[in-house]
Amino acid sequence: MFKLKFTILLVIFTTLGLTAQNIMPFYNCGQLTGDIKTVKTKVKTELKAKGFTITGGYYVANKSSMYVLTFTSKDLQRTCLKVKERGIIASNLRVGFEKIGDKVEISMVNPKYLFLGYLRNGYDANKTVLDKVNNQTIQIMKSFANQLKPFGGSVKESTLKKYHYMTMMPYFDDPIELETFSSFEEAIATIDKNLAAKKGNTKKVYKLSYKSLKKAVYGVALLDKEEGEAYFLPIVGKKHFTAMPYEIVVTDKEVTMLHGKFRFAMYWPDLTMGTFTKIMSTPGNVEDTFEELMKK
């Protein structure tokens, strides 16, 4: 009887272990010979051919050796817009290009990781569409790459839906409120004006705006040499540079951003506390930078 009970328990725990799947934030998609301009043009062409829209791109930290391309699709936008509480952030996917010697290494934010972290239970409600987008993107990258290896730290899928770094740290549901304007139109006009002026050493990478829904999302490059990407990426791990740019969300009159202690931890989930403390000022620096973009 004891052996029978032990066997049953072993089967149960084994089954639970198999269903509790882990996921990583990035894919290393291998290397291609050439320069960044040539390789990213090939990827852009293929993405467009498969129905995706290129929303932006930039050299991360102003370095010619690192470039991030952002893209979306109509299905992805429609799905993300249905998910309340800043689901719109998940509407932009990212692929990165790093020049290493005479080759360009391609990396990509794992779309499913992004969906689970930003859409949370909205992923389950829209699984068919989101899995299709995920699979399409992976197939496109496979058509270029000689590999597709996940990297960047492992998180359980169920944990990612309610992710936070540790006790007392912020969740996705704990955004920072940057400003409340008199209208959606004023918010957009103010942010557009300040991004055009490159306030806070920023740069607009992408913008998706839906006037009828009074929703918008911006991807903003943080280009300050002392406090921006050039400062924090070498500390936390620049192989994760495809996590950039950082997002700003406009919902009606309110402008918010994800808390840095959530967002950095989500894209660097294997970050040690020792390393995290080295960028202790960074979440506040990002907030201060974005406050500059709110000034009328």
Q: What is the pLDDT of residues 87-101, one digit of tens each?
A: 999 999 999 999 999
Whole-number pLDDT of residue 8: 44
Closest CA to 209 of 222, 198, 195: 195
Contacts of 118 (CB under 8 A, 6+ apart): 86, 87, 89, 90, 172
Judge contact between 200 and 227, C-beta under 8 A: no
- Which amino acid is it at 117? G
Burial of 46 (0-12, 13-18, 19+ CB in 10 A): middle
- Which amino acid is it at 18? L
Residue 272's pLDDT band (cuts 50, 70, 90): very high
Whole-number pLDDT of residue 20: 60
As a whole number, the mean pLDDT across the chain is 93
For 134, list phi and psi in degrees, rounded to 5: -60, -50
Which CATH homologous superfamily contains domain 176-292? TT1751-like domain (3.30.310.70)
For the stretch 207-250, pLDDT in tens is: 999 999 999 999 999 999 999 999 999 999 999 999 999 999 99
In order of 42, 49, 149, the CA distances from 35 in angstroms are 11, 22, 22
Whole-number pLDDT of residue 85: 81
The C-alpha atoms of residue 89 and residue 262 are separated, in whole angstroms, by 14
Whole-number pLDDT of residue 13: 41
> Which pair of tokens denotes residue 295?
């000034």
Start and end residues for every CATH 3.30.310.70 domain found in the chain: 23-160, 176-292
Judge contact between 190 and 296, C-beta under 8 A: yes
Out of 3.40.50.720, 3.30.310.70, 3.40.50.150, 3.40.640.10, the CATH code matching 23-160 is 3.30.310.70
The pTM for the full model equals 0.92
Helix (H) or strand (E) holding 258, with range, is: none
Q: Which residues pair with 215 in a beta bridge?
A: 210, 251
Pairing of strands 93-100, 176-180: unpaired
Q: Which residues of 106-137 are buried (b: 16+ CB within 10 A; e: fewer)?
A: bbbbbbbbbbbbbbbebbeebeebbeebbebb
Listed range (5-19, 111-125, 189-203) with the worst mean pLDDT: 5-19
Closest CA to 50 of 70, 64, 35, 71: 71
Helices (H), the chain: 2-19, 36-49, 74-82, 111-119, 121-125, 127-144, 157-160, 184-196, 229-236, 260-267, 273-278, 282-292
